[in-house]
Amino acid sequence: MGTLSLDDYEEVRISAPWGHISGRWYGNRTERPILAIHGWLDNLGTFDRLIPLLPGYLGVLCIDLPGHGRSSHLQPGMHYSVDDYVYIIPLVMRAYGWKTVSLLGHSMGAILMFVYAALAPHTVDMVISLDILVSACRQPDGNNLRLSAQNMEKHLREDQRLVEGSDGEPPAYTLETMCRAQVQGSFQSVRYEVAHHILHRQVTRSEVYPEKHYFSRDGRIKFINHAYLDDGLFAAMARRIERNPYLIIKASDSPFLGPSEAFSILSECNPNFEFHQVQGTHHVHLNEPEKCAQYIVPFLIRHRPPTLDSKEGSKAGSQGSQQPRFLPNSKL
C-alpha cells in the first residue's frame, strides 16, 4: 500500500456568502475525501508533513478557515467565533454533495469536529482529533472577564482600521524573522525548521521591500470569541457520539487535553473510541508526524478501508488526469 504525495493535489476554491474557502485536495479525487481542519492562527500547511504518511488510496481535503491562510476574510463589522466556525463543516459538505463526512482536526479544528459530531452524529463516519477534545471551560472570574473585554476593544480597533483603510502595506519582515515569530507565537510548540509549512500560506511578498513579506491573515482572528461552555454541556454532547469511530492523539508536553467528563463518557461508552499519547508538543503532528501516523493509519484502514474505486482513483489521481466527482458548487 502506497502513501499520499504532497505534490499530488488540486487547489480548491469553495464559494461562501462572504467570499471563498481555499483548500487543497490531496490524492484520490474520485471519492469523498477526509476533511482536515487546522487550529487557531494556523492554516492547512499544518498537515504538510502528515499528508505523505497517510494511505495512498484516500483523498484528503485540507481547508483554510475564514480569516486564515488564503481563505476570504470576513467583512468589517463581523466577528470571528468558534461557534460560527462549526458551520464551515456542513457548508463544505453541501458544496460537494456529501451526505456523510470523515473528519481530521488539530486543536481548534478538532473542537469544531467534536461539536459538529455531537450536533449531527448521523452524518459523521469517523473523527481524528489531534491533541484536544473540547475547549477548556473558562471560569467567570475577573481575569477572564478582563481578557474578554480587552479582546473586544482590540477587535473594534482592528475593525476600524479596516474600515478607514491604510496608507500603505503592513510592516514587512524577512522570512527568517517571521519563522521565529511563528515559533514564539506558538509558545515553542512549532519547531523553527518546520515553521515555513504554516508560514507560506499566511504571508504576502511586499511590493515596497521585495525581499520581505508581511502577514496577510486577518488580524481579527487573534481576538476570536470563545464560547463560555461548561462541562455539563460538553458531557451532553459526548453522549450523542455513541458509536462514531473517534480517535484522540494527545501530545505529552501539551496542556490542551486535560480531564473532562466528555472524555470519560467517550472512553467508557463509545465502543469505537481510541486514545493514544505520544511524546511531543501541541504541534507534534507537524514536528514529528510519524508519531501520530502510527495510530492514524491503522484507524483509517479500519474505518475507511480501500475499495476497488479507491484503488483506481488513487492511480488516476497520481497521474493528475482524473477530475473530481464532487464539484457541484466549487471551483478548482
Q: What would the pLDDT profile of 171-221 be if each residue is shown by its tens digit?
A: 999 999 999 999 999 999 999 999 999 999 999 999 999 999 999 999 999
9-137+154-164+219-307 CATH pick, 3.40.720.10, 3.30.1490.20, 3.65.10.10, 3.40.50.1820 = 3.40.50.1820
**CB proximity list for 49: less than 8 A, separation 6 or greater:** 194, 197, 285, 286, 289
CA distance 174 to 142: 39
Cell of 144: 477572564
CA torsion through residues 89, 92, 94, 98, sign:
negative
How many angstroms separate the CA atoms of 133 and 250, rounded? 9
pLDDT confidence of residue 138: 63
* Model pLDDT, residue 16: 96
Closest CA to 318 of 9, 1, 31: 9
The two counts, helices (H) then strands (E), for the chain are: 11, 11
Ramachandran assignment for 131, one of left (phi > 0), alpha (psi -120 to 50 degrees), beta (any other): left
- Which of these ranges, 49-53, 248-252, 254-258, has the smallest mean pLDDT? 254-258
Q: Taking 50 as the threshold, does the pLDDT of residue 154 lie above it?
A: yes
Inform me whether the pLDDT recorded for 71 exceeds 60. Answer: yes
- 3-class DSSP state of 49: coil
Report whether pLDDT(307) > 80. Answer: yes
In degrees, to the nearest 5, what angle opens at C-alpha 81 toward C-alphas 78 and 86? 120
C-alpha cell of 189? 510548540
Q: Got the DSSP string for 128-143? A: EEES-SSPPPPP-SHH
Q: Residue 228 has what pLDDT?
A: 60
Can you name the residues that pair with 277 across neighbouring β-strands? 250
What was the pLDDT predicted at 293? 98
Q: What is the pTM of this model?
A: 0.90
Whether 109 shows a pLDDT value over 70: the answer reads: yes
pLDDT band for position 316 (cuts 50, 70, 90): very low
Q: 174 or 138, which is more confident?
A: 174
CA 159/CA 75 separation, integer angstroms: 9
| Over residues 167-173, mean pLDDT | 85
Confidence grade of residue 327 (pLDDT, cut at 50, 70, 90): very low
Per-residue pLDDT, averaged over 130-136, amounts to: 88
28-37, 159-168, 307-316: the lowest-pLDDT one: 307-316
Q: Identify the pLDDT of residue 149.
A: 83
**Got the DSSP string for 63-126?**
EPPTTSTTSPPPPTT---BHHHHTTHHHHHHHHHT-SSEEEEEETHHHHHHHHHHHH-GGGEEE
CA pair distance 115, 112, nearest whole angstrom: 5
- Between 20 and 224, residue with greater pLDDT: 20
- If you average pLDDT over residues 88-104, what whole number do you get? 98
pLDDT bracket for residue 311 (50, 70, 90): low
Can you tell me the mean pLDDT for 30-41?
A: 97
User: Cβ neighbours of residue 202 under 8 Å, at least 6 residues apart?
Assistant: 43, 68, 69, 215, 216, 217
Does 209 or 2 have the greater pLDDT score? 209
> Among the listed ranges 17-21, 71-75, 147-151, which one has the minimum average pLDDT value?
147-151
Percentage of the chain modeled with pLDDT above 70:
89
Contacts of 84 (CB under 8 A, 6+ apart): none
- Please state which of the ranges 138-147, 219-228, 294-303 shows the lowest mean pLDDT: 138-147
